[in-house]
Chains A and B, each alone.
Chain A
Amino acid sequence: MEVTVFWLLAVLAVVGGVMVFRFDSMARATFSLLASLLCVGGLVVLLGLDYLGIVIVLMMTIEMAIMAVFMVMYMMNPAGLMPMTMMHNKKGAAVVCGLVFVLLAAGILLAPWPARRGKAPADPTMELGMSLMGPQMLTMMTLGMALFATIVATVVLATRRGRYDRLGDDLRARRPEDPVRGGVGR
């Protein structure tokens, strides 16, 4: 049973990944990527990491929903009503990717992998939490800072008005010129 599920998820993950770049419709491409990443989440669950697998499934579902909105916003042919291609250097890229796969496969098949050491804890999620709050605290703090920096950076990049728009060319305006009043004391 486990083997059947593995093969099903593995084949679907790779085929879904390939179809992302073959569909003309942006919505189909997005849902194909979603299917591929859901299969990755399923494989992670199959390996005994239930919590991380479910996190991947939930995160990817939301992420791809947002991706679909952006695809419709920016792509010139979101419905895929006419054939189109948006690729460059297809042959060169195929050669590079083929070579990378051959190298990776050779490494995977020829490397003397170490034998399994220890056995999985009864609750891997607890183990992960203890690790992130203990020996891997620096990793957790770095991720936290990266997430915070991303929030600030995305707001700065996505906003239409910069500080020069608000406070004038020399930034000396006493009151910022905002379209809507708000904030502390304004």
Chain B
Amino acid sequence: MTLELLLLVAAALFCVGLFGALTQQSIVMLMMGLELMLGGVILGAAAAWHYIAPAAADGQVLIVVAVTAMALEMAIGFAVVTALFRSREVDMTDMAAELKE
């Protein structure tokens, strides 16, 4: 177990999540991709804390921020999907394109 190995696992998780976020049409599935990306960030921060600066708490604080971001993303994402579905019966990104206009 080394820093590089852990960071590679974190990078793999981030890229799998990025693939999901870029390809998925369903907003809920897109959010799953974002969760995976944040999972990669959490793992990277934990590895950096353990292998580079365990005496400082900054790595741990970054994990707290990422975990909070995960919770906020889920809550706001589901609220947006609910509002969108209620007004247009849409839960797909392609059909929600008029939001940008």
Query: Chain A residues in contact with chain B, CB under 8 A?
Result: 2-3, 6, 10, 13-14, 17-18, 20-21, 29-30, 33, 36-37, 40, 43-44, 46-49, 52, 55-56, 59, 63, 66-67, 70-71, 74-75, 86-90, 92-94, 96-98, 100-101, 104-105, 108-109, 113-114, 116-121, 124, 127-128, 130-132, 136, 139, 143, 146-147, 150-151, 153-154, 157-158, 160
CA–CA, A36 and B13, complex, Å: 9
Closest 4 CB pairs of A and B: A118-B55, A131-B57, A93-B22, A157-B79
Chain B, Cβ-Cβ closest to A32: B32
How many A-B pairs with Cβ below 8 Å?
A: 225
Contact between A87 and B23, CB atoms less than 8 A apart: yes
Neighbouring A residues of B25 by C-beta, 8 Å: 86-88
CB distance from B82 to the nearest CB of A (A): 5
Contact between B51 and A104, CB atoms less than 8 A apart: no
Query: Chain B residues in contact with chain A, CB under 8 A?
Result: 1, 3-9, 11-20, 22-26, 28-29, 31-33, 35-36, 39, 42-43, 46-47, 49-58, 60-61, 63-65, 67-68, 70-72, 74-76, 78-83, 85-86, 91-92, 94
Contact between A154 and B55, CB atoms less than 8 A apart: no
Contact between B82 and A93, CB atoms less than 8 A apart: no
Chain A, Cβ-Cβ closest to B7: A108
Contact between A100 and B75, CB atoms less than 8 A apart: no
Contact between B64 and A132, CB atoms less than 8 A apart: yes
Chain A, Cβ-Cβ closest to B42: A40
Neighbouring B residues of A44 by C-beta, 8 Å: 42-43, 46, 63
Contact between B11 and A105, CB atoms less than 8 A apart: yes
Chain B, Cβ-Cβ closest to A108: B7
Q: Chain A binding site: helix, strand, loop or mixed by DSSP?
A: helix
Contact between B61 and A70, CB atoms less than 8 A apart: no
Contact between B50 and A120, CB atoms less than 8 A apart: yes
Neighbouring B residues of A2 by C-beta, 8 Å: 1
CB distance from B95 to the nearest CB of A (A): 12
Contact between A17 and B16, CB atoms less than 8 A apart: yes
CA–CA, A120 and B59, complex, Å: 12
CB distance from B51 to the nearest CB of A (A): 6
Given contacts A44-B63, A49-B60, A154-B79, 20 further A-B contacts (CB under 8 A): A6-B5, A10-B5, A14-B12, A14-B13, A18-B16, A21-B16, A37-B36, A47-B46, A47-B47, A47-B50, A49-B63, A63-B35, A67-B74, A87-B23, A89-B22, A109-B4, A120-B54, A132-B61, A157-B76, A157-B83
